[in-house]
Amino acid sequence: MKDGKLFYSKKFFVFNLVLVGVIVGFTLAFMIFGNSFNISFGEPVEAMENSRTEEPEPVPPVPEGQAMQKSFREVAQKVLPVVVELKVVEVVRQQVPSAPRGWPWDFLYPDRDKGEEPKGQEREFRNQGLGSGVIVRKDGNKHYVLTNNHVVGEADEIQVVLNDGREFTASMIGSDPRRDLAMVMFESRDRNIPIAELGDSDDLYVGDWVLAVGSPFGFVSSVTAGIVSAKGRSGPQGNISDFIQTDAAINRGNSGGALVDTEGKVIGINTWIAAPTGGNIGLGFAIPINNAKRAIDDFITKGSVEYGWLGVSVGDVNSQLADELELDDGKGALVHNVYLDSPADKAGLKPGDFITHIDGRPVESRDEVVRIVGNLVAGDLVDFRVQRMGRSIELEVEIGVRADEKEILSNQKKLWPGMAVVPLEEQAREELGIPDSEDGVLVISVERGTKAYIHGIRPYDLITTINGDPVEEMQDFYRLIGDSSRDKFEISYIREGEKGYAGIVR
């Protein structure tokens, strides 16, 4: 057959058709089976099958755009085991009124003794409460939990509930009402119970992400997220801490729980909320962990927190008072009173001194002075810079140990002069009916138990002279009342238009 006729032959057409079918079929089979299995060369089929049936399914990776979610997830896993729920019971005994006498009560209680007055019986009431805590230390089988004083301060029974549901009976180690901190301890032989990693709250900035962990309303192991809204906030009266403000949701039961950063380090202890309705409105507050680190050591070693003692009462000043006392600015704290024989008195601090620096560090306000002094160690020599009568003075003070509140109040007679005064303004002159011919300083507060109080000086008295010398402005008052060469002080004042006198021995 000639070559030209070969391409038009019937046999050649059938051969080509079969060849094309084989190629198409092979290609389709390769595509289908290639997409169904991902078997690397040299891997036994048995190994592949075992890996499918025995190994757990891995957690899907988090895309790069969800790095924050990954961070929150990791923080929650790290922190939840170190935050516990605290169940507390306070046992209160109260008098229960007895059944009344007379008809029909005598008929209803025929067996009672009619010859005696009925007496009420005592009944025991169990007040239950909930809070949170953070495991911060362990020593052998002992595990120490930091929480708030208002959570466990008066509790008779304390139960610690771990994140895994295990429950332990705990005992009180110590409490500190001034910073609203307390510590409890429970025992367990489990060596795997973790403790919290404490961070550095001084490195915290406004706008930083934080997570709040606790048991709000008994919902154990709850985590909420927010940011640091502010730092250095003042708290409830009597609390000397400077608080971290956050909008992370904090509710009742969160007290004592942890505020943590994005590394899972505890940077605060959740303490209180500002909420008219009692629920979260984005105003939560936590004690900076740096304020609590020393308390942790003191609780474990001493059973209570030891504070530094200066021996003064201080306050803030406004612009008018700063001008009267010739202060550079209003940053600092004005010494209203000094405890006699205190470290401040021995070092030469006087009423009217304005504290501007402590140990070379400038201070902004009364609250900051109280916090810094409280953190000072007894026995240390600390430099104080004060402004007095327009001059800057350096004084070295040996810090003492602060006694408890009851002992301090029992020594009020040593508080000199025992009162706080302000300049006489025109509005006060009109409201109190003080004539233009009288000048002086106005008493705004008198401490109970002090010699000034005992000898009759009261708020709104206008002090006009001390030891016969006229008091026309604030500097006159502090110069005369701070005269260390005198022991007796005759103070004249005006009250409701009448003149009065008080003779006080310092």
- In this structure, are residues 478 and 417 in contact, taking their beta carbons and an 8 Å threshold? no
Query: What contacts 379, CB < 8 A, 6 or more positions away?
Result: 398, 399
**Shortest CA distance to 396 belongs to which of 442, 345, 347?**
347
- In this structure, are residues 456 and 450 in contact, taking their beta carbons and an 8 Å threshold? no
> DSSP labels for 14-32?
HHHHHHHHHHHHHHHHHHH
Query: What contacts 230, CB < 8 A, 6 or more positions away?
Result: 206, 244, 245
Report CA 22 to chain centroid distance, whole Å: 80
The label of the residue with tokens 């006080």 reads 504
**Shortest CA distance to 415 belongs to which of 441, 459, 450?**
450
Catalytic annotation, pick one of 180, 247, 261, 461: 180
User: In three state form, how does the secondary structure of 49-104 look?
Assistant: HHHHHHCCCCCCCCCHHHHHHHHHHHHHHHHHHHEEEEEEEEEEEEEECCCCCCCC
Q: Catalytic residue at 329?
A: no
- In this structure, are residues 382 and 376 in contact, taking their beta carbons and an 8 Å threshold? yes
Catalytic annotation, pick one of 201, 215, 221, 255: 255
Q: Catalytic residue at 255?
A: yes
Catalytic annotation, pick one of 150, 175, 221, 345: 150
**Shortest CA distance to 433 belongs to which of 356, 363, 498?**
498
> DSSP labels for 466-497?
ETTEE--SHHHHHHHHT-TT-SEEEEEEEETT
DSSP 403: P
Q: Catalytic residue at 171?
A: no
Q: Which DSSP helix (H) or strand (E) runs through 407?
A: helix 405-410
- In this structure, are residues 199 and 261 in contact, taking their beta carbons and an 8 Å threshold? yes
**Coil, strand or helix: which one is 447?**
coil
Amino acid at residue number 148: N
> How far is CA 335 from each of CA 30, 41, 314, 419, rounded to the nearest angstrom?
91, 84, 4, 11
- 203-206's contacts with Cβ under 8 Å and 24+ in sequence apart are 204/228, 204/231, 204/244, 204/261, 204/267, 204/288, 206/230, 206/231
**Distance in angstroms (rounded) separating the CA atoms of residues 122 and 503:** 50
Tell me the two tokens of residue 453.
């109080």
- Decide: residue 108, CB within 10 A, 0-12 exposed, 13-18 middle, 19+ buried: exposed
| Dihedral angle of Cα 29, 34, 40, 46, to the nearest 10 degrees | -70
**Shortest CA distance to 299 belongs to which of 133, 473, 450, 502?**
133
Give me the active site residues, please.
150, 180, 255
